[in-house]
Amino acid sequence: MLRMIASRLAVGVFVLWGATTLMFVLIRIAPGDPATILLGSDATPEEIAALRERLGLDENPLVQYLAYFAQLVRLDFGESFRSNQPAMEVVLDRLPATIQLTLAATLIAVIIGLALGLLASRRPDGVVDRIVSTIAILFQGMPTFWVGIMLILVFALTLRVLPSAGSGSFAHVVLPAVTLALPFTAIVARLSRATLTEAMREPYIQTALSKGLSRGEALRGHALRNALGPVITIVGLQMGTLLGGAVVVENVFAWPGLGTLIVQSVSYRDYSVVQAAVLLIAVIVLALNLVADIVNAALDPRIRVGGRA
Amino acid sequence: MTDGATPPVLTIRDLDVVLDGPEPVRILDGVRLDVRAGRTTALIGESGSGKSVLGSTVIGLLPDGMRAEGHLEFAGEQLLGLSERRRASFRGSRIAMIFQDPLAALNPSQRVGRQVGEVLRRRGVRGERLRGAVLSLLERVGIPRPAERARAFPHQLSGGLRQRAVIAMALSGEPELIIADEPTTALDVTVQKRILDLLAELQRESGVSMLFISHDLRVVSHIADDLVVLYAGRVAEIGPAREVLRVPLHPYTRALAASVPSVHAASAIAEPIPGSAASPANRPSGCAFHPRCPLAQEICRAAVPELSEIEPGRFSACHFAEQLRGVPAAIPTEEAR
Amino acid sequence: MTTTIPLPVQDPRPWRRSLAGVSGRLGGALAVLPLIVVGIYVLVAIVGPMLIAYDPVATNLAERLRPPGSVLADGSTAILGTDGTGRDVFAQVVYGARTSMIIGAATVVICAAFGMLVGLAAGYWGGAVDIVLSRVIDVLIAFPGIVLAIVVAGLFERGLLVVIVALSLSGWVSFARLTRASTLSIKERDWVAAARVMGVSTISIQARHIAPFLVAPVAALLALEFGLIVLGEAGLSFLGIGLPPSTVSWGQTIAAGKEYLSTAWWISAFPGMALALLVIMVGLLGDQLNSRYQRGGAR
């Protein structure tokens, strides 16, 4: 188990290196002078020249790259030219809001998705199963930002029960979290239904039934635990996609998180911030993947305790 | 087979189990079987004979698509007409089951002790009482260091210990009837005997009745009081185990006995039965065994032989059962207990 | 012998048995629905703009925010209403279909081609090639696809090519993984081993003995990825990144409609429905292809 964590960490470090390199390359090949890009169009020629010097833009690319890397290792992401704050500070400032939204959506998706999956797997290919499948298809096909807008139309503008934008109260979280959760709920529902029906076919379910358990009891008491592993792993792996979705949803609801920050910064060409934000997201995704793998291993005693599987 | 002194705990008459479909298959056809109280009835048959289906029918866990019809009576109650809920109330507490592969039968991610104690827990036994009950169950089935083993996961135990745990699980509800479906098949030969002895001992101690399903005549001869021979979903022969093995009244039973090499016999070479076993899906006309039977005549192809009482307590479904009376089996098998 | 009492134990829900029968027959008719709907979209995308004139720049302020079905001053009917600058919503839906289909098709083909090449290489040669390529994939999937697309689309000048590239960056990965996995399993089959023993060239083996069996699983993935790409492009357009304003896109229309949500809901609603319907139908198509692949298998 420790070996697995160690190897995952090693891969993670490599991936981070790759990610930072990718950002480096992207900014360098973007049209325009990187220094101008990083400083903004109303920087003075002296500032540009100074930054060019600092970034070593006239030196050969390899030297530039090493300098860039040295900066990053010191966790220096440059400054946001819009606010003159260190870029990472600006980013970290917005992080909690995004985490809040993402966690809320995850909670909704997992709870409702599992419930739907349990319902569907009680009688595979039954009426409920078909209904759940249809719901899942709908949730996954509808564009998230459009669903958000429609929800605003219904709940904020027509029924007037929820706010349409901003943050600050519990009511503000509801619509964005639900919007973000929808496709994820579908994934969790489908996945848990699949793993549960498969677990129910295992021989030990026959044993449970022969002990007098009802199908529902066997499902909850035996199949659920064994089916959770894959579900949790996939949930962890899907968090990346969820974060991506959060970026879009935040813009629909003017939610003050990383998503709105990234889009604003991209359109203002505030690339230090963009770079910092994207790398932070990458780190989070990698960490979540690692946690998902660990949890999965922990839940399977065959891996945890060792011995003959 | 009705011994006046010990009434049967399980009575099966005319049991049909049909697999639905475009062409329904009669997996079990007119099965008759008794299990006397405190005794072991062994159901023997080759794979495909339908013996496991019979076990599933008794415990009420037939797969979707299979229907059971007929007379299935347990401790005075008709089981087949009951609601699913009522049927489930028998499982674990009055009828218990032991499965063939203990590794598959146990939940790999739950500790053994927890699984053994599940029936008791559902009854409301908790805490120290539950722990104590589980430990004494594990001891009773001969698991050394029970406290340690209770905390283990199934894959950490050896095959023999796992099966003992499964037996403990079956005993936990204090059932009146245990259905053992090939409980020793997945085990090493050396371990098999010990498990069989354990089962025999448990039966002596607690008076539980047992329906022992197997394909292995040697195993069966160890443990059976009564024997029911199944071929292609139909009962071929019924009788007290020792007598059936000594003087089989059905050619199939004779062939089975002959095909098992006895360690004590002069020749240890097995004589396999020619041809392959018929399956319920394509049963030959008339007597299902007739294509492979050395005694087969025209009538065997034409008419299905009735299961008739040839001698008191001994039934055979063969047109020529009478002629087999008094003729000992070709190779003596191991004496039953 | 006691008298027998036949007590059948059937499925206690007879209505369920007949329901299964009905849905079986319905299934046949419903099964072609996704294909038909997607076909209609393709048709609209190709033919629509030829039949309907639309100028994104021409505004008609006199006719702004007219509800669906209104008859305009010049006698024409705005089937789906008009938007904030008087432009016909139905025309935007039609032209948007063309945009989505073109970008979706182009991107998915590029992703599939590139991804399959990478996956085939990684699966067939294994070893160092596999490790390197797999690591590259690992780096790419650390970024959520849409985030990467936003950054790339934002870095460069707005344009069709930029959008396609931005969406392709993450899109090829799933093709690569699938191809790699399939290649690994096919590579061990007898006919490949036989070809190798006979000295058939590597390229030939890959092209004639492995590639044909990759088609089925990839086809199912194509449908899924197409849907995701179309959604992605709409998202980018919604955020105002990527396509220039002169190109009609569903995402753009939806974004434009957001500020009129309370008064003119149709501007955002209809393009969204068109988008949702397309993605759902393509997804269903992909599911059908998927189950056909599972059943048929690589023979």
User: How many whole angstroms separate alpha carbon B156 and alpha carbon A279?
Assistant: 44
Give, in degrees to the nearest 5, the angle at Cα A160 between C63 and C65. Answer: 5
Please report residues of B whose CB lies closer than 8 A to that of A214. Answer: 85, 88
ipTM: 0.83
Per the structure, the complete domain to which residue C256 belongs is given by: 35-52+77-298
pLDDT of B330 reads: 60
pLDDT tens-digit profile of B62-101? 888 899 999 999 988 899 988 888 888 999 889 999 988 8
Measured between CA atoms, the residue of chain B closest to residue C9 is B67
The DSSP annotation for chain C comes to: -PPP-------S-HHHHHHHHHHHHHHHHHHTHHHHHHHHHHHHHHHHHHHS---TT---GGGTTPPTTEEPTTS-EETT-B-TTS-BHHHHHHHHHHHHHHHHHHHHHHHHHHHHHHHHHHHHH-HHHHHHHHHHHHHHHTS-HHHHHHHHHHHS--SHHHHHHHHHHHHHHHHHHHHHHHHHHHHTSHHHHHHHHTT--HHHIIIIIIGGGGHHHHHHHHHHHHHHHHHHHHHHHHTT-SS-TTS--HHHHHHHHHTTTTT-THHHHHHHHHHHHHHHHHHHHHHHHHHHHHHH---
More confident position, A195 or A65: A195
User: How high is the pLDDT of residue C273?
Assistant: 93
| pLDDT of the residue at C299 | 35
Whether A278 and C151 lie within 8 Å, measured CB to CB: yes
User: In terms of DSSP bridges, do strands B226-231 and C77-78 run parallel, antiparallel, or are they unpaired?
Assistant: unpaired
- State whether A305 and B153 contact (CB < 8 Å): yes
- Is some CB atom of chain B closer than 8 A to the CB atom of C24? no
Cβ separation of C147 and A241 shorter than 8 Å?
no
Going across the sheet that includes B209-214, the strands are: B95-98, B177-181, B209-214, B40-44, B226-231, B234-240, B314-316, B308-311
**For B68, which of C4, C9, C12 is closest by C-beta distance?**
C9
Whether residue C72 is contained in a domain is answered as no
A244-283 per-position pLDDT tens digit: 999 999 999 999 999 999 998 888 777 788 888 988 998 8
CA B106/CA A210 separation, integer angstroms = 12
Please name the residues in contact with B265: beta carbons below 8 A apart, sequence gap of 6 or more. B331, B332
Query: Which of B143, B219, B142 lies closest to B182, judged by CA?
Result: B219
Measured between beta carbons, the chain C residues lying within 8 angstroms of A234 are: none
- Answer yes or no: are the C-beta atoms of C144 and A285 closer than 8 Å: yes
CB contact under 8 A, B69 and C8: yes
DSSP state of B83: -
Residue B53 or residue C186, greater confidence? B53
**Given pLDDT bands bounded at 50, 70 and 90, which one contains residue B269?**
low
pTM more than 0.90: no
Q: How far is B329 from chain A (nearest CA, A)?
A: 38
What three-state secondary structure class fits B152?
coil
Between A and B, how many CB-CB pairs are < 8 A?
Answer: 81
- Cβ-defined contact of B71 to C10 (cutoff 8 Å): no
Residues of chain C with pLDDT under 50: 1-26, 297-299
HSE, CB side, 13 Å, CA atoms: give it for residue C221. 22
- What does DSSP assign to residue B292? G
A298 has pLDDT over 70: yes
Residue A55's pLDDT is: 60
Q: How many residues does chain C have?
A: 299
Structural domain boundaries in chain A? 87-308
Is the predicted pLDDT of residue B296 greater than 70, yes or no? Answer: yes
On whether residue C18 sits in a domain, the answer given is no
- List helix spans (H) across chain B: 51-59, 84-90, 102-105, 112-116, 118-122, 127-140, 146-150, 159-171, 189-206, 217-223, 241-246, 251-259, 298-302
How far off is chain B from C9, nearest CA to CA, in Å? Answer: 5
Burial B221-249 (b: 16+ CB within 10 A, else e): bbbbbbbbbbbbbbbbbbbbbbbbbbbbb
In the Cβ-directed half-sphere of A150, how many Cα atoms lie within 13 Å? 15
In whole numbers, what is the pLDDT of chain A averaged over residues?
Answer: 83
Q: How far is residue B127's CA from residue B150's CA, in Å, rounded to a whole number?
A: 14
Banded pLDDT at B163 (limits 50, 70, 90): very high
| Of C235, C148, C111, C132, the residue nearest A25 (C-alpha) | C148
Does residue C64 lie within any of the structural domains?
no
Q: Is B70 within 8 Å of chain C by CB? A: yes
Count of domains for chain C: 1
Q: How far apart are the CA of B34 and the nearest CA of chain A, in angstroms? A: 21
CA distance B297 to B311: 23
Nearest residue to A189 (alpha-carbon basis) of A121, A122, A99: A121
Q: Which DSSP helix (H) or strand (E) runs through B214? A: strand B209-214
Residue A104 in this model has a pLDDT that exceeds 80: yes
Residue contact B67–C10, C-beta within 8 A: yes
Give the pLDDT band of residue A304 (cuts 50, 70, 90): low
Q: What is the pLDDT of residue C2?
A: 35
| C-chain residues near B80 (CB < 8 A) | 7, 9
Quickly tell me which residue has 């199939």 as its tokens.
B252
Q: Check pLDDT > 50 for residue B1.
A: no
For residue C60, tell me if it sits in a domain.
no
Nearest to A305 among B96, B110, B156 (CB): B156
Pick the CATH number of A87-308 from 3.30.1510.10, 2.40.160.40, 1.10.3720.10, 2.102.10.10: 1.10.3720.10
The chains in contact with chain A, meaning 3 or more Cβ pairs closer than 8 Å, are B, C
As given in the structure block, the two tokens for residue B87 are 């049927």
What's the mean per-residue pLDDT of chain B? Answer: 87
C13 in contact with chain B, both atoms CB, cutoff 8 A: no
- For residue C91, give the CATH number of its domain: 1.10.3720.10
A238, A273, A219: which is closest to A77 by C-alpha? A273
Instruction: Say if C162 falls within a structural domain.
Output: yes
pLDDT at B263: 53
State whether B71 and C5 contact (CB < 8 Å): yes
Other C-beta atoms closer than 10 Å to the C-beta of B176 total 21
